[in-house]
Amino acid sequence: MKNVVLGLVWAVALLAASSMASAAVVEHSFEVGNFTVERLCNPLVITAVNGSLPGPTINVQEGDTLVVHVLNSSPYNITIHWHGIFQFLTAWADGPEFVTQCGIPPASSYTYRFNITGQEGTLWWHAHSVNLRATVYGALIIRPQNGNSYPFTQPDEELPPILFGEWWNRNVVDIENETYESGGAFPEPDAYTINGLPGDLYSCSQNQTFQLSVSQGKTYLMRIINSALNNQLFFKIANHNFTVVAIDAAYTNPYTTDVIITAPGHTVDVLFTANQPVGSYYMTASPYHTISQTFNNVPTRGILVYENSTSASPVDVTMPINNDTDTAHRFYTNITGLADGPHWVPVPLTVDESMFITFGLGLAACLDCTFAIPGMRLSASMNNESFVLPRGRGLSMLEAFYQNETGVYTKDFPDNPPFEFDYTNPNVSNGVQTLSFAPKSTKVKTLKFNSTVQVVLQNTAILGVENHPIHIHGFNFHVLAQGFGNYNATRDEPTFNLVNPQIRNTVAVPVGGWAVIRFIANNPGIWTAHCHLEAHLPWGLSMAFEVENGPTPETTLPAPPADLPKC
C-alpha cells in the first residue's frame, strides 16, 4: 500500500510537470515593516506585510509555482511559513526559524520559491519567528486547474476569506519577552478580530466591524481561517446554516451544521445560502476554553448584510458557552474525507513506525522568575522532552541535515513516554514529579523515506488538561480516531476509520484525550510537529521528524538556495 501511495504522490508531481504549459509562475512581493493602526481607542505600531492587516491574499491554481520576494523592513528577524503546503523537495522554503532556515535579518531579503502540487482549497501564510504571527499573516487560496471544477455544488459567488485573529494593545514581541522573563503565561488578547477588526462589542469599534454583502437566494463559498495565536473559536451566522466541503485544503463529504469550531491553524471551506428575509445578521466568533483561568470572553462579530437591506439592528446569534466541549467534539469528529475526490490519498494499511507521544504542560526551574510558584517557570514537553530551538549553533536543523553535521540536534527522540501512568487523571499526574520537570533538548525522530508512521497523541494532566492543536509541517495526515481519557488500543483501534477519515495538517487533540494520526514520510528533510498555540511553542511543546533521503536524485533534498539567510 505504501508504494501505491508514493506512486500517487509522484504521479501527481509528474502530471503537474507535464502540464507546465498551463501552469503559471505567480509572483508576489512582501515588505514586512512597521506601521501604525488604531484599535480599541489606541494607536499602536505593529509589524505586518505591505502595510495591511491581514496581509495580502495569495491566489494560485494547483500546479502553479509560487515565488514570494520578502523584504524585511522591520526591526526583527523574520521568517514566513506557508502553513499546510507540502513543500515536496522544497523544505528550504518551509519557513520555521532555526528549523529550515535562519531569520531574514532587518534590511535584508529572501525569496521563497516552491511548487503547489496535489493540493486544492484554503491554506494560509504567517510569520514563524517569535510572536509576529499575531499580525504577520494572510490567506493562501489554491483553486483547481483550468478545466477542473470543485467536487461540490458550484456556488454562485465566492466571498473574501474570513480570517480570525487576536489583538493586544501592546507590542507582542515585548509581551513575549516579558512573559519569558516572568516565567508565566502569555496574557489573553484584548480583543478577537475578524479580518483585523474587533467588531462593535469593543470600545471605539463601531466603525471597525467587518461587513459582508450578499444577495438573497444566492449560494456562497466562504473560506474561514483561524489565524489566532492561542484561541480556538466557535463561529456562527445568525439564522444561517453551513455545509462544510473542505478542511485544511482537503475535500470532505458535505456536512451541514449551524456552528463551526476552528483551532489556530485550521481552515474550513463552507457553502451557505442567503435564504433568510432581506436584512442584516451578525456573524460571531467566540472563544472555546478548556482550562480554568481568566479569559477574554467578549466575542468578535461582523455583519452579513443582504442587498437592499434597510435594517438598522442586525439579527443576533446565540453562541455556545465557552467550555462547550460537546459541541466542539461533535464538529471535529463528524467530518469525513471525500474518498476518491480530487487529490484523495487512501489510508496506508501497513504501519512501519508506531509512536505514542504524551504531551502537556509542566514546570522548569528558574532563579529570577516571578511566576506564582517561586523558583519555577511554565514549561511543556512531548514524551518528557522539552524542545529547544537550536539558537546560536551556526546552522539551522535542515542545514545540519543536508551537511550531515552534528551538534545541532540529536536523533534520539523517544517513541514512547518514559513510563506509563494514568495520563489524564490530574490527581495522579500531579504526583509524577519526574514528568513535571522535562529536560530541555533538541531531539528528532528519524524516519526512513516512504515509511508509514502512526502516532498516538495523548494529552496529559500534569499541569492541567487542555485542547491542543498539533500541527505537522510537510505532510497531511489521516485522523483515524479521537477520544477522551487514556488511549486504549484494545478498545479504540477497532473504531479507526480506514475508509474515509478526515485529512488534516493540524489536529485539535481533545481536552484530556487523544487522537491517532497516520502519514507517509515521503518528503526528505526536517519537519516540526508542534502545538499551534503560540504560547506553548516556546515552552517546548514540540519535536521534529528527520525524514531520510530517498534512493534516487528525484527523492533527495536538493542544495539550499544561494540566498538562504545565515545564522
pLDDT in tens, 165-195: 999 999 999 999 998 888 888 899 999 999 9
3-class SS of residue 134: helix
Over pLDDT 70: what percentage of the chain? 94
Strands (E), 211-298: 211-214, 219-226, 232-237, 242-247, 250-257, 260-262, 267-273, 280-288
Residue 498 in contact with residue 347, Cβ under 8 Å? Answer: yes
Quote the CA–CA distance of 165 and 226 in Å, as a whole number. Answer: 7
The letter for the amino acid at 205 is S
d(C-alpha 161, C-alpha 124), whole Å: 10
Note the pLDDT of residue 22: 65
Query: Which among 534, 467, 466, 440 is positioned nearest to 186, based on CA atoms?
Result: 534
pLDDT at 431 over 60: no
What is the per-residue burial (b if ≥16 Cβ within 10 Å, else e) of 351-377? eebebbbbbbbbbbebeebebeeeebb
Alpha carbon dihedral 179, 185, 190, 191, in 10-degree steps, equals 120
Amino acid present at 167: W
pTM of the model: 0.94
Instruction: Tell me what pLDDT residue 267 has.
Output: 98
CB half-sphere exposure, 396, CA atoms < 13 A:
28
Q: How many CB atoms lie within 10 A of CB 423?
A: 25
Model pLDDT, residue 354: 98
Q: What share of the chain is helix, strand, coil (3-state, %, to 5)?
A: 15, 40, 50
Region 317-345 average pLDDT = 96
User: Of 26-30, 34-38, 338-342, 365-369, which range is least confident?
Assistant: 365-369
* 304 φ/ψ angles, rounded to the nearest 5 degrees: -95, 120
For residue 245 the three cell numbers come to 466541503
Query: At which residue does the C-alpha cell 438598522 appear?
Result: 312
Instruction: Quick: pLDDT tens for 505-548.
Output: 999 999 999 999 999 999 999 999 999 876 677 889 999 999 99
Give dist(CA 400, CA 409) in Å, integer: 8
Among 68-72, 369-373, 401-405, the range scoring the smallest mean pLDDT is: 369-373
User: Is residue 181 helix, strand or coil?
Assistant: helix
pLDDT more than 90, % of the chain: 82
Q: Report d(CA 563, CA 490) in Å as an integer.
A: 52
Question: In the structure grid, which three cell numbers stand for residue 147, read together?
Answer: 478545466
Give the model's pLDDT for residue 11: 40
The DSSP letter of residue 307 is T
Q: Which triple of cell numbers denotes residue 218?
A: 444566492
